[in-house]
Structure 1
C-alpha cells in the first residue's frame, strides 16, 4: 500500500519527461533499449505513449524524422548514452538539413559519478550541438520538465529543426513531489506575413511576363500548401517543387510542372523561391537566368549567406506572406505556361521509350512505370538509395503533401526503413512504398525485423544492380576505372526479408514485376520485391557534388 501511495504522490524524472511529451501531443517514442532510458520508458508506459523499438539507434532517430515529415508534428527518439547517441548523429544531421522538427532524448552517465569513468560516460552536448538548434543537460530533476518543453517548442519554431536533451541517470530516476506548472505551447506556423518587402515583391510580380515559383521543404513545414495553390490559381504562375514540397500542389494540376524545370528557371524573369535554399540542387543560384529577379520567401532568415543575393527577401509566416502577394487578378502568362507545357509534354513523351523497355535485367524507368500503375494516388513513397532513387525523383509524381520522403540534401543512406516505420504507424490506411537501392539495404536492412515485429506492412521495392552506380559510372568517366564500387551481383536480399518474418520475391524480367508487386501488397507483411536492374544504365546526373 505504501508503494502505491508513493507512486501517486511522487513523480520520477522519466515520468516528468513523459508527461511533458504527452502534454504536447507526442504519442510515439522511437528507441532501442538501453538501461539509461528505463525511467523514461516507465514514464511513457504510465502516460500511454507507445514505445516503438528498433534494431539500431540510427533507425530510431530516422523514424522520429519520418514521423515529423509525415505528420508535421515533433518526432521523438530516445537514445541510450554514449554509442546510442553517436549512432543517431547521421539522423540528426539529416534532420538539420531538412529542417525536420525532431527531439532526441539521450541517456547520460550519472552526474554524481561524472568524471570517474561510468559506463558510456561521454559529454554528448559539444558534438551534438553543431547539428541541433539546442542541446542541453538538466542540472537537477526539477529542471527536466522545462528542458523537455523548451526542446519541443524550439524544434517547432521557424526555422524548424532538431533539438537534443540528455538526462543524467541519477536525476532521471530521482523524484519530485509534483510536476512543476508549465504554460509552454507549440508555436503556430501560420504566423504574420513578412514585415518588409511585400510591396516590392508585388511590384515585381505585376510586371512579370515569365514568372515561376520554386517551392521546397520550408513551404511544407510552414503549412503553406493551400496558400500556394490559391496564389498560383489566381495569378496563373507555373510552379515547381522539390523536397517535402512535392505534392503540395498535385502533380496533375494545370500549373504544376516537373520535367520543364531547367527551361522555366533559366527563362523566368521573376522567380519566387519559397522555402528552398539555393544550394547544389539549384546550382547555387545558377539555375536561374542572370537577369531574373529573385524573391526569397521563408519562415526565417537563413544562417548561411545565399550564394546569389536575392532582389527581395520576405521572412515571416510563409502562408501569410503568399496570401499577401495575391490580389490584382491574373497575370498574362498564357504564352509562358503554354511554352512550358510543351516542354513538359515533350520530355514526358521522351520517357516512354524507357517505360516500354523490355530488357532483363530491368531498366529502372520501366520498373517505375509499372509501379505507378499499381500504387494509390495518396501512397507514401520513400526513397533510400542513389541512382535508383534518383530515377524515382525524376518520374514518380506526388499528389498530396507528406507523401514523398527522401533523405534530402544530407543524402544519408539507411534512412528509409525508419521513415517507413513511422509513416505507416502515422498513416496506417495508406500504402507505404519503400524504394531501396541494394547498397542502401546494407545500412538498415535488419529493420525489416522491426517492421515484422510491429506488424507494419511496408512494401519495399529494390533496384538491385550489384554496384554503387552513382559512384562507379562517374569514376569510370573521370579515370577510366572504378574502385570500391562493386557489390555481389544478384544477392537474394528478399530471402533475408523472408527470414526476418516478411514477404520476399525476386524479379528478373518485366513480365514478373506487376504480379510480384500485387502479391507484396496483398501479403499484409513487410515485403521486399527484389528487382534485378541493369548495371549498365547510367543516371543522367545534372548536379555535381559542390
Structure 2
C-alpha cells in the first residue's frame, strides 16, 4: 500500500524507539510536523535551531543512543550547524533531518536555496563535520538512506549525519514495504574486540612496567565501558589520569584517580604522567589542552614514556604520539577481554599502597589549599565557593552540564564527579552556549535525575530563549549563571598578555553591566533568584532542587582565573618566554 513519505518516516522513527525529536518549524518540514501530531514521539519545539542541536546532543549523551533533529532549510540548517559540529567533535550520535528546496526547482533559486556553487547544495555546508551528508533525490531511496543514517551515526566512532530532504519528497507516496524492509535489518552491530594474544601482551607489559599509568578519555563514556575500566584499574592498583572528556570514567573518590591533565591540570598530575614508563591510553585523542600543546616538558614525555593505545577509530592511534602497542577495538569489548586475561595471568592482582598514599596526600593538600576560597563569604562570590556549595547539595548521580570558561575548567580541575557519564561538557569544539540547552536534553532523557547547568553569563546569554521551551515543556533544569559580567576567561587572557580587556568585559557608561537573568527567567515564566550574598546561594539551590521546576539562579562572581600549572602554546605566541597565563579581572 502506498502512503505519504512523511507518514512512513514518523512510523519508522517510532519503530526505532525514538521518543523525542528536537527542532523548529519551517515551510519545508511541516508535512512531518503534521504527522508528529498523531505520533507517540514528542516534538520539543525551540526558538532557535542551535538550541535544538545542543538539546539533542545532551539527550544523546544521557540516553546513549542517536538523537534526532528536525530542521528547516537554509538559515534553519545553518543555525543548527554549531550545535551539530559540537556533537561531531565530541563523537555524539545524531541524525539531522532537514527540509530542502523542492526537487523540481533545483537551480532556479527558490526561496532560501543555497546554490552559489552548485544547485541545491545545502548539504555541502555540513560536509566538514558530519560523518556523511545525504541529499534525497528520489522518494523510493529515502527508507534506505534513513537506515544507513542511523547505522552510521551510532557505529564505529559515533557522530552526527545529515539527511537533506526536498520538501516535495515528504509529500510523495511510496509503497510502505520499502520502509518495512528495514525492520529486518539489525539495529545493533557487533563491535570489534581484541584477541587473547594481544590482551596478554598488553597485560604482561603493564605487569612488567615499573611505573605504569592509565590515561582515559571520553571514549570510555561513549563505549559505556566505565565499569570494566574501574575493574581493571582496581585489579592492578594502577593510577588513572584523564582528559577533560574522560572525567568521571573512574570516580573522583577512587584512591587511584589522579585527575585531569594538561593546561588546567595540576603539577602533581602532569608530573605523574611525565614520570610514567608506560601509559595505557583508552578512548582519548590526546587533545591539545589535555596534552599541554604536546610539549614534552609539561605533561606527556612520549616516546621516552612508552604508549599503549586502544581506540575505536584507527585515525586516533598514533595521531599525536608514537604508539608501541596499538589496537582498534570497542573499549567495552576490549576491556572485557583484558579483565579476563588479567585475572588469568595475575589472579590476586597487584597492590600499590605507595601511589595511593601519594594521591591521597596530594588530594588532601589541594583540598586544604582551596578551603579558604571555598568558604569565602565575600560578594560577588568566589567561583570556588559556588562549586563547593553545588557539590555539597547535588546528589552524587545528578547530571551536571558545563559551558566554557571557569565553569568548565574549574569543574574539570576541582569538582568531584562520581558517576560515569554524569558530566556533560563541550570538549572538542568548546562551544559557548552548549551547557544551558544540553542540560534540557539530558533532563528530557533522564527525567528522574536532578540536572544542573553551570554556565557563565556569556554562555547563558547566547540563547536565553531556551527558557521558553523549558516553560512550555516543563523541563525542570536548574541553571546556575556564574555571572562575572564578562567573557571572563578570555578577559583574563587578554589582560595578562596585552594589559587590556577590550571587547571581553560588559560595560555601560564605563560601569560593569549585566542583565538580570533572574528577572529574564520570570518574564519567560520560569522561577528565578538573583543572589545578593554568598550565604544566600546554597539555600537557593536547595529550593530550586526541591521545586522540581525550571529555575535560574543568577550568582554574581569574582572574575578570578582557574589556577593552572600546565601549558598552552598560545601563551608563547602572545608572550614568548614570559610564562604568563591568565590575570584576575577586578
1:263 to 233, 255, 271: 271
Q: Separation in 2 of the partners of 1:497 and 1:83?
A: 27
1:494–1:506 contact (8 Å) kept in structure 2: yes
For 1:365, the equivalent position in structure 2 comes to 384
1:430 to 449, 471, 482: 449
**Distance change (3 Å), C-alpha of 1:195 and 1:157:** farther
For 1:6, the equivalent position in structure 2 comes to none
For 1:283, the equivalent position in structure 2 comes to 292
- Deviation at 1:409? 2.1
Q: Separation in 2 of the partners of 1:27 and 1:444?
A: 25
Q: Separation in 2 of the partners of 1:314 and 1:349?
A: 41
Aligned alpha-carbon RMSD (Å): 2.0
**Distance change (3 Å), C-alpha of 1:261 and 1:222:** same
- Deviation at 1:342? 2.1
Q: Secondary structure at the match of 1:381?
A: strand
**Distance change (3 Å), C-alpha of 1:246 and 1:71:** farther
- Deviation at 1:143? 0.9
- Deviation at 1:403? 0.9
For 1:302, the equivalent position in structure 2 comes to 315
The reply to whether residue 55 of structure 1 matches residue 37 of structure 2 is no
For 1:128, the equivalent position in structure 2 comes to 126
Q: Secondary structure at the match of 2:98?
A: strand
- Deviation at 1:114? 0.9
1:57–1:84 contact (8 Å) kept in structure 2: yes
List per-residue Cα deviations over 1:154-178 (Å, max 9, x = no partner).
0111111111101011111101132
Q: Secondary structure at the match of 1:521?
A: helix
2:326 to 313, 317, 323: 313
For 2:139, the equivalent position in structure 1 comes to 141
Range moving further from structure 2, 368-377 or 18-27 = 18-27
- Give the number of equivalent residue pairs: 537
**Distance change (3 Å), C-alpha of 1:502 and 1:543:** farther
For 1:5, the equivalent position in structure 2 comes to none
The reply to whether residue 109 of structure 1 matches residue 118 of structure 2 is no
For 1:4, the equivalent position in structure 2 comes to none
For 1:161, the equivalent position in structure 2 comes to 159
- Deviation at 1:304? 8.4
For 2:282, the equivalent position in structure 1 comes to 274
For 1:82, the equivalent position in structure 2 comes to 74
2:247–2:417 contact (8 Å) kept in structure 1: yes
Q: Secondary structure at the match of 1:302?
A: helix
1:363–1:534 contact (8 Å) kept in structure 2: yes
For 1:210, the equivalent position in structure 2 comes to 211
2:257–2:359 contact (8 Å) kept in structure 1: no
List per-residue Cα deviations over 1:467-509 (Å, max 9, x = no partner).
1111111111111222101114343111101110111111132
For 2:223, the equivalent position in structure 1 comes to 222
For 2:563, the equivalent position in structure 1 comes to 540
Q: Separation in 2 of the partners of 1:303 and 1:392?
A: 26
**Distance change (3 Å), C-alpha of 1:545 and 1:521:** farther
For 1:172, the equivalent position in structure 2 comes to 170
TM normalised by structure 2 equals 0.87
List per-residue Cα deviations over 1:280-333 (Å, max 9, x = no partner).
122354422342111111112126862211221111121222233323222353
Q: Separation in 1 of the partners of 2:197 and 2:59?
A: 34
**Distance change (3 Å), C-alpha of 1:455 and 1:94:** same
Q: Secondary structure at the match of 1:131?
A: coil
Q: Separation in 1 of the partners of 2:188 and 2:305?
A: 35
- Deviation at 1:125? 1.8
- Deviation at 1:524? 3.1
TM normalised by structure 1 equals 0.94
List per-residue Cα deviations over 1:17-76 (Å, max 9, x = no partner).
223322322111100111211122233344421111111000111111111111110011
Range moving further from structure 2, 417-426 or 485-494 = 485-494
- Deviation at 1:533? 0.6
1:466–1:490 contact (8 Å) kept in structure 2: yes
Q: Secondary structure at the match of 2:495?
A: helix
- Deviation at 1:189? 6.6
For 2:29, the equivalent position in structure 1 comes to 37
For 1:99, the equivalent position in structure 2 comes to 91
Q: Separation in 1 of the partners of 2:106 and 2:569?
A: 42
**Distance change (3 Å), C-alpha of 1:490 and 1:300:** closer
Q: Separation in 2 of the partners of 1:497 and 1:31?
A: 22
**Distance change (3 Å), C-alpha of 1:195 and 1:101:** farther
1:209–1:333 contact (8 Å) kept in structure 2: no
The reply to whether residue 476 of structure 1 matches residue 500 of structure 2 is no
1:190–1:319 contact (8 Å) kept in structure 2: no
Q: Separation in 2 of the partners of 1:304 and 1:414?
A: 31
Q: Separation in 2 of the partners of 1:133 and 1:237?
A: 36
2:528 to 468, 480, 504: 504
List per-residue Cα deviations over 1:68-119 (Å, max 9, x = no partner).
1111100110110001111111112111110001111111001111111211
1:437–1:463 contact (8 Å) kept in structure 2: yes
1:417–1:434 contact (8 Å) kept in structure 2: yes
Q: Separation in 2 of the partners of 1:446 and 1:392?
A: 26
Stretches of structure 1 that go unaligned for 5 or more consecutive residues are 1-8
For 2:584, the equivalent position in structure 1 comes to none
- Deviation at 1:446? 1.3
Q: Separation in 1 of the partners of 2:367 and 2:271?
A: 14
The reply to whether residue 152 of structure 1 matches residue 150 of structure 2 is yes
Map residues 485-524 of structure 1 onto 2, 5 A cutoff.
485-488=504-507, 489-524=513-548
Range moving further from structure 2, 187-196 or 230-239 = 187-196
